Structure 1
């Protein structure tokens, strides 16, 4: 048995995850014959049969299943080594332009970006608060924090989390108007909702509440303005759980209400593969966003 090349092990893991040579070739940006040669070489080096080839794709053998777990652990250690090496290598410099919704830009990103700047003082950050989906392919931004899954093929994207939502009101509002105990009680209260957007009404219908636009005493499509109305004691509103629970004098109500979650995605142009500053900023954002207390 010969010691295999790491690139062969990486190919082995990718084929195991993708289930076919063609899909693995697409992910690794190699040709299908090259992927096949890698697998054949690795099997020869290890003197083991790792896959059963069939019309339905590549299925791991018992030996392949056993090795895949250890190989995954090896890849994790290798990725950590690369990240540590990048942090100790030449300093990263240049501008990184980040776009996110106004809510994320105002209530979530500022402390994260402050820590990014402290860790990488030569990175210049441009923050673009915008609810519109930025065109990363046209380079309107380098990195986007999105609440929808990116669909362009030339983007690199990763899902960070599903963000839980909650129902909130200011303490002064509840002292004056009382606290609703059921979703039906909301009809007796001042509720803050969207103006032209229909996502909130759709969610309410999904939760079993028959409501139309007139259900909302205050209407705005600006989520920051809506949250400020809640903070001012104007009425009951909805917000990301980790924002609402950390705001002074704001009380969470109807905790058992099954509000649909919001997906949180990070996306960047493919230049992420060649730009150290964008890669560093992307990895930093991903790590920090994953630390958000999403379950409290």
Structure 2
């Protein structure tokens, strides 16, 4: 029997082994669950062995599956790197560019910049991945990433675009109805909007000396875009980027004595891809647009702070 399996089958195997289910592997590969399932069945048939145990919790690699995963994972990365080398030789200002950014940036900041990019580069198609997880640039999950932290993955070109302040805020309708808190302690008398299962906001508050608990939130949700829309609807007080607050009608920043560290904004791209003309052009122009947006917001924040102290 010919035991040389098609590489596509091995690629699906690696995705299932990494993600633990057909559905998650399909999403990672941009495929469908039935297709990935057929790939695993075909691979096991070709090899004449079982690579996964099926259970209610998903697919667990067998002993042979575990032994196969590491060399296949290295092969996937090696092929991805080869593809990066080839893609980086492109001199065309056409094709597709895949950009990943945080959910908030992708929803409320990126669209206006994409409008400019599309006008300036009409032959380029843009694929947008809104996510708060770190997409792997090496495996071409994205070509360009807007990160809210400094990237540390090797072989990346990175550029700090600026910083964005995080402040308490609410819709003016809510503040008119409930009043504006003047101190951190006053917040506990208000309807707060925060995360559900995520501990990020609670941990950040505790580092600042504010003993915030999950039960203090009247509205809880782990989707940052959903919590922002709750704030816009006047449901309560939450925390958001100052520059997005000020560009949104009806939203009001609330001055409290909380020294919240600002978020850094970084633009990053794989070094090999940066040599592709379309990637480099979009990377440079997007960096310029977002950098200008952050600088304008920083000047506005500084002016407001000075007028407040006066």
Q: Same fold (TM over 0.5)?
A: yes
- Rounded Cα–Cα distance in structure 2 between residues aligned with 1:260 and 1:218: 24
Query: 1:35-87 deviations in whole A, cap 9, x for unaligned?
Result: xxxxxxxxxxxxxxxxxxxxxxxxxxxxxxxxxxxxxxxxxxxxxxxxxxxxx
Match of 1:248 in 2: 249
- Rounded Cα–Cα distance in structure 2 between residues aligned with 1:255 and 1:105: 28
Match of 1:49 in 2: none
The Cα of 1:227 is off from its aligned counterpart by: 0.4
The Cα of 1:130 is off from its aligned counterpart by: 1.6
Question: Structure 1: any 5+ residue segments left out of the alignment?
Answer: 1-89
Is contact 2:184-2:257 (8 Å) kept? no
Is contact 2:182-2:255 (8 Å) kept? yes
- Rounded Cα–Cα distance in structure 2 between residues aligned with 1:261 and 1:196: 23
The Cα of 1:272 is off from its aligned counterpart by: 3.2
Match of 1:146 in 2: 147
- Rounded Cα–Cα distance in structure 2 between residues aligned with 1:273 and 1:233: 43
The Cα of 1:121 is off from its aligned counterpart by: 1.1
Matches within 5 A, 1:181-260: 181-254=182-255, 256-260=257-261
Match of 1:28 in 2: none
The Cα of 1:207 is off from its aligned counterpart by: 2.4
Q: What is the total number of aligned residue pairs between the two structures?
A: 207
Helix, strand or coil at the partner of 1:106: helix
Query: 1:195-248 deviations in whole A, cap 9, x for unaligned?
Result: 122221122123221111111111111110000000011000111111001111
- Rounded Cα–Cα distance in structure 2 between residues aligned with 1:268 and 1:255: 37
Is contact 1:91-1:120 (8 Å) kept? no
Question: Structure 2: any 5+ residue segments left out of the alignment?
Answer: 1-90, 302-310
TM-score normalised by structure 1 residue count: 0.67
- Rounded Cα–Cα distance in structure 2 between residues aligned with 1:139 and 1:225: 28
Query: 1:121-176 deviations in whole A, cap 9, x for unaligned?
Result: 11111111122211111001100111122111121111111211121111111111
Matches within 5 A, 1:1-296: 92-254=93-255, 256-292=257-293, 293-295=296-298, 296=301
Match of 2:43 in 1: none
Is contact 1:190-1:235 (8 Å) kept? yes
Once the two structures are overlaid, the 10-residue window that deviates more, 254-263 or 144-153, is 254-263
- Rounded Cα–Cα distance in structure 2 between residues aligned with 1:199 and 1:123: 37
Helix, strand or coil at the partner of 1:225: helix
Query: 1:175-198 deviations in whole A, cap 9, x for unaligned?
Result: 111110011100100111111222
Is contact 1:171-1:249 (8 Å) kept? yes
The Cα of 1:273 is off from its aligned counterpart by: 3.6
The Cα of 1:110 is off from its aligned counterpart by: 0.3
- Rounded Cα–Cα distance in structure 2 between residues aligned with 1:256 and 1:123: 46
